[in-house]
Chain A
Amino acid sequence: MDWIDALLIPAIKSLVVIVVLLLAFAYMTYVERKLVGRFVRRYGPNRAGPFGLLQPIADAFKAIFKEEVIPTEVDKWLYVICPGIAVAGSLIVFGVIPVGDSFMAWGRKITMVVADVNVGVLYVVAMAGLGLYGIFLGGWASNNNFSLLGALRSTAQVITYELPMGLAIASIATITGSLRFGDIIAAQKTLPLIILQPVGFLVYFISGMAEINRSPFDMPETENELVSGYSTEYGGIKFAIYFMAEYINMIVMSILVATLFLGGWQGPFAHLSPLLQLVWLVVKAAVVLFVFIWVRASIPRVRYDKWMKFGWKFLVPLGLANLAVTAVVVALVA
């Protein structure tokens, strides 16, 4: 193990992953606006470049050159670093997710994952909670009543929906016998887990949408009651970074759903080329992302108290029941 293996390759991998995620974020905003536009019979962005394809770039320049007002009342330090915490927290989750098997380059075997740790899923659950600090402290630091409410709601919502999510993951672990992403993907070689765990998939999917604050469950930023929730006092590049964190969370969540339940990078002919594995993963994640956007365009926002009740009184018991049934069935089969 020389320094190239130990430092250079992981550093390059990290850079590639982060740059790709940022580009994916930029065009995700475009795709979402275009799709939501079509859902309600509008055109969506169509001015900058052909089909509006340059819109994300125009938005990025706008965010960078925008005057940034730091209100006098805020807690300055927290106010400045919180968007950074949020986006770093959402990027770091991606470090353990394999996007393919491995390939040879310059005589070296390069695995298509930054670090396939043996507690990968646990790591994801832990790190996903980290980004919440960015949202909560940012809302608190803004010194604004609505931001504080948004921050509190976001915390209550995320911790509520972390439970069913954890229970769904535990059901997966009883089947696969491992928390390493590589093993979970390998266990889905013949049958994706969505078929063995349909209820687990539903529980995971709904709580996933709650975790990433997607509309119709975007309680932290309900525009019509909390203005814009935790991000009201933010502008310019800091708002753009919050926005980025939200979209990267969404992309990472879709890739997690694809990896945990849809077989990850596996698919017909996937063993032929690492590029094909990547394509399979992207296709699966794109389907999940489309469903996220579809749900947003179709369902009105739920009421906060009902949404919390749904989590505690329906999803948590359902997750527990699913885990118990899974355990009994696995014991009967084995």
Chain B
Amino acid sequence: MIEISGLAKRFEVENPKKLSEQEKKDPRLKGRYFQSVRDVSFTCDQGQVLGLLGPNGAGKTTTLRMLSTALRPDSGKVLIGGEDVLANPNIARKKIGFLSSSTGLYGRLSGRENISYFGELHGIPKDVINSRIEEMADLLDMQNFLDRRAENFSSGMKQKVSIARAVIHEPALVVLDEPTTGLDIMATSTVMEFIQRLKDKGTPVIFSTHHLDEVQTLCDKVTVINQGETVFNDSLAAFSALSGGQMHKSFLKTLSMDSEETSNVVNL
């Protein structure tokens, strides 16, 4: 079970004078500091898929970065299977597979070398890495480009290799930050199938997205963050029931906004 409670994180604004008028009005801006995440709490059980929703700038990426130990929260707790992530980040890192929103690969390494490198960083024996790569190459349809240099990969190819890289160590929890953004229909479908497969295996998955159809298809739970705070955290059924099965209206309701206001923050 994954338990996140009272997470908060603020950043120092390098040059407050350069902020736009709209940014200056954000209630999270306190002097030289921007309170990106103020109070985020949610839980995710074994085998569940949790969809993290929220408008741009709500604090989703910062939350996922704290969950994955890339950032250290100012306050709050993250427990994975009872293990305190903040107290033992290196132990937690072995349990988490994280895919960041900026898909980055080492261009001068092949797809296989990219995945293998992260497997080795996790201390997995070479032969195990090789067999897992073969397995994932089939699952993610990567056989025909896996041995090519990553510098020439399309966005879809990069994302597939990045996902494989994130789960090479068979983590206890998979965290994906907008995994389908910028992908074509085929690549999106492969990623969705992969998440479903993780779910079937009992691996909890937390992923942020702007696509409500993905949430409807895959998620068991929904957490909505707005202005750095959790505004909804319940089952998909409860989320859907907020507006009689209309996902986008449910989302608007959690933000206490009308459809005009939110047309820019969600793909209906």
Do A and B make up one complex?
A: no
Q: Which of A's residues lie within 8 Å of B, judged by CB? A: none
Q: Which of B's residues lie within 8 Å of A, judged by CB? A: none
